[in-house]
Amino acid sequence: MPFNSLNGKYVNSKSIERLISIKDDENIPGVEDISIISASQDIKQIKEIIRNNHWSIDHPIRQNLWECLTNQISTDEHIDIYHELVKDLFGDNYYNCSLPSFVDPAYCIRYHLNTDGKQTVEKILQIIRQSKPDITYCPVLYPLISIFLHYMSEEMAYSCTMKILSDKQNYISQTKGDHTASAYLVMKLCKKYAKNAYLQLEKELKEHEDLENMFQNWISWIFKGLPFTYLVRIVDCFLVDKKKSLYRIVIALLILYNKNVDKSTSEDLGSLQKLMDFFQNIPVPVEKVLKMGYGIRGFSEKLVNQQLVKVQMTLKSHTNLGGRSQSADRLSPSQSGYHLGINSSDQPIIRQLKMDSSCRTRSVGVVALGNFKSCIITPEQMSVIWSWLPLRISMSQPEVIYSSNEHGVCLTAFYMTVGEWEPTILLIKSTSDEIIGAYCSSAWNERNSSDVQNKKYTYFGNGETFLFTISPELRKYHWVGSVSGEDVPHSAKLFMAADNHMINVGAGNGQGLLLDDNLLYGRTEHCDTFDNEPLCSSNNFQCKVVEVIGFK
C-alpha cells in the first residue's frame, strides 16, 4: 500500500486528496538522502540534495526531512517540554483564546487543515508567545506551522519552529522593523534582478508609494498566492537556504508574471489582485520556478547581506534623525541617511519605521537596559550604543558575558567565554579612562573557519561591524561600503581578524582596533575599512578593563 505522508489527524483528507499524486514505484528515489543529510557536515551537499530532488507532497521523506533540516539550525530540543508548557498555560483542557499580537490576521491560512488542525496551530502560537516574548510581529508563523502540521506532530511542529526562531537573522523577521527592512530589501533586489517586471509594476501603478506598499506584502505572494504543492517544495528549500531562498522565489515569480500575464487586464484589476491571481494559477511547474530562482546570477549571500546593511542603515538613519538628537552619533550631514541616496519615495517606509522605532524605544529599550550593569559604561551610555545597533539586534537583551576583572587577561579565556556568541560588543577602558569599542558582527570562533580549499580565513565578519568611542566624546565609524556600495577596495573589506596572538577589528593601511594576547596593550589607527580617526588620543594604549557584551 503506498505511503501517505499527510497527517490525517489534522488534515482534511477530502480537501487534500485531489493534490496527491502517488506513484506505485516501491523504490522511490530520495528516501536514503535523509541518512546522508543527518550525517553530512557539508552544507553544499545538503543544498544540492534539497534543490534537485522534487519530491511530491506525499513523499515519505518528509516524515523526517524537515526535522533533520531544522537540526542543522539548532540542536536544542523542545519536544519534551512542549506538553508541560501547554499544561502550565492552559491546564488540563485547552480552550480557544485570542491569537498572539504578533500574528497578522491576513496571514491566517489553514492549507486544508481540519478544525483540530486549526486549533493546534493556534495552541502552538500561544506557547510560542510564552516562550519567545520578544516577538512583536511575525506574519509567516501561522502559515508555516500550518504547513508543518501536514507532516509532523504538534510537539515536533513546535520544536522545529522554535529552532527556526532561534536564528532570527537568517530565517524569519520577528519585528515590524525587520519586516519593513526585508520588504525594502526585496524591492531593491527585484529592481536589480527583475528590472522589466519591476518597471511594468511601476507603470501599472499611479503612485510609487503604492508600489512600496505592495512590496510590504511580499510574503503573501508566496504563502497566500502559490498553490500548496508549490509551498511544500519551497519550505524544503527555505529550511536549508534560509530567507535568501524566498528572495529568489519572489524574483522568479515577478519575472514569470511579466512574461506571462495578460497586460490587457490591467484596467480591470488592481496590480496586487493581478499578481495574486497569476500566482494562484501559475502556468509553470514548481520545478521551473525553483530553477529560475536558483539560476539568478550574481545573487550571492554576501551581496544580499551588503544590501541589507545599506537598507538598515538607511532606515535607521531616518529613525535616528527623527527620534533622537544628532549629537548621539556625532554624524555630519554628509554621513546622514540623505547621503545614502534617500529620496521622497522612501518616505512611506520611513514613516512606518519611525512609528515602530518609537514603540521599540518605549517598550524594549528601557526594559532591556534597566538592569544592565557594566564596569566600563553606564546604562545611559549603553543606550547610545543600543541606538546604533542593527534593528533586529536592538530588540534583544544586552548582557556582559566577559570581563577581564572576572575571567582573566588572556586570549584563551576570551575565546572560551565569548567565542560562540554572535554578535558581540567589545568594550575597552584605557588607563587614561578613554572608552572605546567595536560592534563585532561575527563570532570570534570564525577565526577557525576555512574556505572550500581548506584555507583558513584571514578576515571574517560583515559590513554591520563598526568602531566607536564613548569617552571623551561619542563617535561612530561605520563601514565605508555602507555608503560607497560594493565598489570599495579589498583593503576596505577587512572587518575582523584573530589568532592566538591578537584580535583585530578594522584594517587596511592601519589597524582600526587591535589588542594583544594578554588583553593589556592595544593599538588604534586610521584604517580603510571604517575611514576612522584613531579611537584614543594616543595610537598605543594600555587597557584597564576589557568587557564583551552579548545579546539574549
Q: Can you state the angle between helices 176-193 and 195-204, rounded to 10 degrees?
A: 110
Quick one: pLDDT at residue 16? 67
Query: In what helix (H) or strand (E) does residue 232 lie, and over which residues does it extend?
Result: helix 228-241
Find all residues with CB under 8 Å of 539, minimum gap 6, and list them.
523, 524, 525
Measured at the CA of 59, the angle between CA 55 and CA 65, to 5 degrees, comes to: 80
Query: In what helix (H) or strand (E) does residue 547 lie, and over which residues does it extend?
Result: strand 540-551
Q: SS3 letters for 293-311?
A: HHCCCCCCHHHHHHHHHHH
- Determine the distance from the C-alpha atom of residue 528 to the mean position of all C-alpha atoms in its chain, rounded to a whole number: 27
Quick one: pLDDT at residue 328? 32
Find all residues with CB under 8 Å of 207, minimum gap 6, and list them.
none
In DSSP notation, 18-38 reads TT------SS-TTTTHHHHHH
Quick one: pLDDT at residue 522? 94
Find all residues with CB under 8 Å of 130, minimum gap 6, and list them.
85, 89
Quick one: pLDDT at residue 371? 73
Determine the straight-line distance between the first and last CA of the chain, rounded to whole angstroms: 49
Query: What type of residue is 285?
Result: P
394, 360 contact by CB (below 8 A): yes
Q: Judging by DSSP bridges, how do beta strands 496-498 and 475-478 pair with one another?
A: unpaired
Quick one: pLDDT at residue 31? 54
Facing residues of 93 across strands? none
pLDDT of the chain, 552 residues: tens digit per residue: 233 456 667 787 666 666 665 443 444 455 566 777 777 667 888 888 888 888 888 888 888 889 889 988 888 888 888 888 888 887 776 666 678 888 988 888 888 888 888 889 999 999 998 888 888 899 999 999 999 999 999 999 999 999 999 887 788 988 888 888 899 999 999 999 999 888 888 877 765 557 778 888 899 999 999 999 999 999 999 999 989 999 999 999 999 998 887 654 544 445 677 888 889 899 999 999 999 999 998 888 788 887 887 787 777 655 544 443 333 333 333 332 322 233 333 444 444 444 444 444 433 444 456 578 899 998 889 988 988 988 778 777 889 999 998 888 889 889 999 999 999 999 999 999 999 999 999 999 988 876 555 566 688 999 999 999 999 999 999 999 887 655 788 889 899 999 988 999 999 999 999 999 889 999 999 999 999 999 999 999 999 999 999 988
Nearest one of 84, 62, 223 to 148, comparing CA atoms: 62
The beta-strand segments (E) located in 339-457 are 398-403, 424-430, 435-440
